Chains A and B, each alone.
Chain A
């Protein structure tokens, strides 16, 4: 875009994160930005902003599609409007282990989806492991029947409600900022998240049990504007591509170490962990495609084939 009163060189990209600057992943994203700057040889500058400072995620993704020079923190469900199949990456019990994320992202299948969203102005910069989600609640859940009548807090989107359905129980939608209050006052009996989030949000103060449902091996993604990318010098484009693709492998061990650390912290805080008969959830999880008629037929089989 042309500028009236200000010129800009190197090109400044602002990264808009959901997490706060106290979150353990914040310095990791700063490191990601530094890697891009170094690889770009002075053509790019990356600034990292915490807690959706620049705008709410969904609004900023729309702005990105219109050419905003922003690197937006997100997950594959946010691409649902642009290519519904992306949401399957966040379907419960589909992705089995952290390594699957890289395999899937680099497959021909997902590269095809990427091209489709690029045509709509959005470019996927990186996809990497976010953490495995478990259930915090006021009772121990060992199999799916145990969640009956349990009010489980979810974000109000289609895929999160689907996660709630697979877990069983009663879906209770609240905004993230109201979740602590909802848990502490009993509007919700439980909530699901990676261990680090359960810790940093202090949700663990409200309920005694964490059941290791492992229902979602979650992906996090950074999106940018295809238009901004096209206007960049070649060195910058190359830097974004190589650092972005390579980052999947960099982040994964960091997050796994973090999960161990937070399990320790939560146990120290007095929470009781229990294992879960995950297979009792599989039948419900297999029904997920029925609730997403907009997905390409046979999507689950293809994904299962790719991740083996």
Chain B
């Protein structure tokens, strides 16, 4: 391995710095490699690798769960969940901020995308928080941080991606995500409580909601709350595969929105398709390009060399996981979570299994770590989405972000050290 082996990586970061779109940078670095360094392969194979990414049934879950998330908003399902969250948590200190976090956890059972969650809640909750006297940048940060919960609670696109690359079953990744997702929720709610106490953010209603009020709202939200159970049951009893679950969720949301809540109208159809298409294409283009780029890594034997190096230097599972976390947090500053999963899993997983780490536990550590990547600058998709919709300056975002970053990393460390949090449910139910 020589400097030549790493020239595409150097080129890649130069293109990033020149503000070339991430997906296009990945393709150009790959093209440089197969055009100049390794000319033994037919060059069009690179395009073929990229297109072939979409010929995989599990990847179809991405457009389906993205579309389902969009339909939930138009169908009035999200609104009803928010009302429920507000009733349950609004009386706490920093009530609306707590509602923001809780809603992400509730949406976690429906939606698989942190980006969709961040976009929707910035529109829905941030203006409400600002009206109640919360700092706008703080509100934006809470939204971006809590959107990390959504993809970890099943269904989650990042869990599907990992299952695909690591060749473990999607169902066990889904099961494994439940408790870690709840842990993230708890840690973020504690953080919100501490900050709200300091700044004196008031509850949004004075008293705890009565059981009767909660029961009434539960009744109104029951159609939304049923969906996660429906998905898990459908998977458990073999009615559909995880990919098809996404398609079923779309149909269900349309049914509830049009027939039960009567909020979904024909005129929404265009916007729903448009949003689904745009969100899917943005993510898939990066993933396809990352797949092409990873063939360069393979041809140069970089994953193997990297694994060998790690195996020689590290023998203890916990130390290995800590090193991996530091490495991934660094990589997460620059890469989008899904593409980082595709690039890093083949490098790290063989070492992990060899020193006795369960691939499912390892997947949760990677997924949580790289979801946090979407929260941090300079490349963070949830950060981009929330600050551009709420029109918040990056400096203000960063100033409010660090306590949440510490909280998320603390949760990540807990998940790293205690495999049981991830492994309990898959062991019991699968």
Chain A: residues with CB nearer than 8 A to chain B? 1-6, 8, 49, 51, 53-56, 59, 62-63, 66-69, 174-175, 177-178, 180-182, 184-187
Is B167 close to A, CB under 8 A?
A: yes
Can you spell out 27 A-B residue pairs with CB atoms less than 8 angstroms apart?
A4-B35, A5-B4, A5-B36, A6-B38, A54-B298, A54-B299, A55-B45, A55-B49, A55-B52, A56-B52, A59-B45, A59-B52, A62-B48, A63-B42, A63-B48, A68-B40, A174-B241, A175-B57, A177-B164, A178-B58, A178-B169, A178-B170, A180-B169, A181-B169, A181-B242, A185-B236, A187-B241
Q: How many A-B residue pairs have CB under 8 A?
A: 82
Q: Say yes or no: A67-B238 contact (C-beta < 8 A), given A54-B298, A59-B48, A181-B171.
A: no
B353 to chain A, nearest CB (A): 10
Is B210 close to A, CB under 8 A?
A: no
**Cα–Cα distance between A56 and B298 once the two chains are bound (Å):** 13
A229 to chain B, nearest CB (A): 14
Is B313 close to A, CB under 8 A?
A: no
> DSSP majority for the B interface?
helix
Inter-chain contact A185/B235, CB cutoff 8 Å: yes
Inter-chain contact A186/B169, CB cutoff 8 Å: no
Is B37 close to A, CB under 8 A?
A: yes
Interface residues as binary, B41-63 with A (CB distance below 8 Å gives 1, 0 otherwise): 11011001100100111100000
Contact residue among A3, A4, A8, A187 (Cβ-Cβ distance under 8 Å from B238): A187
**Cα–Cα distance between A3 and B35 once the two chains are bound (Å):** 9
Is B266 close to A, CB under 8 A?
A: no
Is B295 close to A, CB under 8 A?
A: yes
Inter-chain contact B241/A181, CB cutoff 8 Å: yes
Inter-chain contact A181/B42, CB cutoff 8 Å: no
Q: Using Cβ atoms and an 8 Å threshold, which residues of chain B touch A55?
A: 45, 49, 52, 295
Q: Say yes or no: A68-B42 contact (C-beta < 8 A), given A55-B49, A178-B57, A186-B237.
A: yes
**Cα–Cα distance between A152 and B299 once the two chains are bound (Å):** 37
A59 to chain B, nearest CB (A): 5
Q: Using Cβ atoms and an 8 Å threshold, which residues of chain A touch B40?
A: 1, 3, 8, 68-69
Chain B: residues with CB nearer than 8 A to chain A? 4, 35-42, 44-45, 48-49, 52, 55-58, 164, 167, 169-171, 235-238, 240-242, 295, 298-299, 346, 430
Inter-chain contact A181/B39, CB cutoff 8 Å: no
**Cα–Cα distance between A208 and B164 once the two chains are bound (Å):** 27
**Cα–Cα distance between A54 and B295 once the two chains are bound (Å):** 7
Q: Say yes or no: A68-B170 contact (C-beta < 8 A), given A59-B48, A62-B48, A182-B238.
A: no
Inter-chain contact A181/B170, CB cutoff 8 Å: yes
Inter-chain contact B238/A185, CB cutoff 8 Å: yes
**Cα–Cα distance between A61 and B167 once the two chains are bound (Å):** 22
Inter-chain contact A177/B167, CB cutoff 8 Å: yes
**Cα–Cα distance between A67 and B39 once the two chains are bound (Å):** 11
Beyond A62-B48, A63-B41, A187-B240, 8 additional pairs, beta carbon < 8 A? A6-B4, A55-B45, A56-B52, A59-B52, A63-B42, A180-B169, A181-B241, A185-B236
Q: Using Cβ atoms and an 8 Å threshold, which residues of chain A touch B55?
A: 56
Inter-chain contact A185/B39, CB cutoff 8 Å: no
**Cα–Cα distance between A1 and B48 once the two chains are bound (Å):** 19
A204 to chain B, nearest CB (A): 16
Q: Say yes or no: A4-B36 contact (C-beta < 8 A), given A54-B295, A174-B241, A181-B169.
A: yes
A186 to chain B, nearest CB (A): 3
**Cα–Cα distance between A82 and B4 once the two chains are bound (Å):** 38
Q: Using Cβ atoms and an 8 Å threshold, which residues of chain B touch A178?
A: 57-58, 169-170, 241-242
Q: Using Cβ atoms and an 8 Å threshold, which residues of chain B touch A5?
A: 4, 36-37
Inter-chain contact B36/A68, CB cutoff 8 Å: no
Inter-chain contact A68/B237, CB cutoff 8 Å: no
Q: Using Cβ atoms and an 8 Å threshold, which residues of chain A touch B299?
A: 54
B85 to chain A, nearest CB (A): 32
Contact residue among B39, B44, B56 (Cβ-Cβ distance under 8 Å from A66): B44
**Cα–Cα distance between A55 and B39 once the two chains are bound (Å):** 17
**Cα–Cα distance between A91 and B163 once the two chains are bound (Å):** 33
Chain B, residue nearest A53 (CB):
B298
Q: Using Cβ atoms and an 8 Å threshold, which residues of chain B touch A174?
A: 57, 241
**Cα–Cα distance between A66 and B52 once the two chains are bound (Å):** 17
